[in-house]
A = this chain, B = another copy of it.
Amino acid sequence: MALLDIEKRVLASLDEEGLLHTLRELLRIPSVTGDEAVAQRWLAGQLQEAGLAVDLWTIDVAGLQQHVAFPGMEVERSQREAVGLVGTWQGSGGPGKRLIFNGHCDVVPPGERAYWSYDPWGAVQDGDFLYGRGACDMKGGLVAALYAIKALKDSGVALSGSLQLQSVIGEEDGGLGTFATLLRGHTGDAAVICEPTNLMLMPAQAGALTFMVRVPGKSAHACVRLEGVSAIEKYVKIHHALMQLETQRNSNITHPLFGRLALPYPLSIGRVQAGNWSSSVPEELIFEGCIGVAMGESCQAVRDQFVQALDRLAMDDPWLKEHPLEIVWTGGQFESGEIAIDHPLVQCCEQCVQDLTGQAPEFAGLPAGSDLRLLVNVGKIPTLLFGPGDLNRAHMPDERIAIPDVLQAARTYTLLALRYLQ
């Protein structure tokens, strides 16, 4: 289907140079989860400048934590302001459909500087790529959505309905920002989360549960280590048991979007810490990680399987039998979530990609937790994940985004918004 003249006109209003400039500036503002206030306030200024009606507020974290559906949180926020930010553009044509673009501005820590070839906060361009923590996950998508809304507004096209940009915090550790945004009353008829899907359409998202496990040991001088019980040695056994659980959970996956993935529902250990002296047997080991939640599977079912796997191990280990592991479901508790693969929002986006590129987009399921499940399950808003960037680049050194992909995403958002509101 060829583009209509009005569509071409709106697409021509997309300020690509401004988009990249804004993205570079945003990449230079560190916004590791828990420390997003500066970035949010700066973004609020951008939304204001773009002419959106801005809602910038301090999130009552302690209050939200009392809520039964609170999605979990890992970072300590008691001493730091949590800031919500929504910008809305009302079309000139009166009430109509309301489309949301949602993106998180928080990023994971950059890790060791030595692993980066570029300053993680430098927004260095090298060839077609912009480098920096958050380039791909997901400041690229967030700024692309802002400029799509600007394009529609700047084009002067008459539209009914509204477009909304939700810039959220705390996505990486649970979804505080989107949860707070929903509870503040911001809603819509459909939403696109601009997460890096490599421009694939992802109408489904696996869940992920973050856990922390304390492994007890018994300290002793290293020279008589058999008198102690090494928490590290116990961990090694636990590690094997958990990898076995992962294998079991990933056999015979039949979901059309997930069955094709190499590892649809990973179990990953992200942190391990044990011991305080090279010559002492460590009396404690703490490990943290996350486990995927399958489509249609409840979080509780996953927790039960996890606990049972460790219980089985403890049955054969006299020490662990007497000294039980302490399992805490801390931080992000992401349910899985999905909408129908032929939902009108999905079909509309599919057609936009087809018309803009001449090629049908690919579909996939996101093997990670995301705010989709909050928008769908809590907010009851049909939601699609679609954005620029390779998820494999997320959370890594030399995170980067391809500039052509950011622009392609912005064009798609622009066309999608135009068609969805019309």
Contacts and interface: CB of A to CB of B under 8 A. Distances in A.
B284 A112 contact: yes
Q: Tell me if A's interface is mostly helix, strand, loop or mixed.
A: mixed
B206 A223 contact: yes
Contact of A366 (B218, B219, B223, B331): B223
Nearest to A196: B221
Interface in A235-254: 235-236, 239-240
A391 B221 contact: yes
A330 to B, nearest CB: 8
A269 interface: yes
A273 interface: yes
Given A263-B226, A266-B222, A268-B230, A279 B111 contact: no
Given A221-B391, A223-B206, A395-B220, A276 B271 contact: yes
A325 B290 CA distance: 26
Interface residues of A, number: 68
A75 to B, nearest CB: 10
Interface string A272-312: 11111111111111001110100000000000000000000
A280 B219 contact: no
Given A224-B367, A263-B226, A280-B395, A115 B270 contact: no
A416 interface: no
B272 A137 contact: no
24 contacts: A111-B280, A115-B219, A206-B223, A210-B278, A210-B279, A219-B395, A219-B396, A220-B392, A220-B396, A221-B368, A221-B392, A222-B266, A223-B292, A223-B391, A226-B266, A232-B239, A232-B272, A235-B272, A236-B240, A268-B279, A269-B282, A270-B277, A279-B289, A283-B397
9 closest cross-chain pairs (CB), A and B: A223-B368, A222-B268, A271-B275, A278-B288, A270-B278, A221-B395, A223-B367, A225-B268, A227-B392
Interface of A: 74, 108-109, 111-112, 115, 137, 172, 206, 208, 210-212, 218-228, 230, 232-233, 235-236, 239-240, 262-263, 266, 268-285, 288-290, 292, 331-332, 366-369, 391-392, 394-397
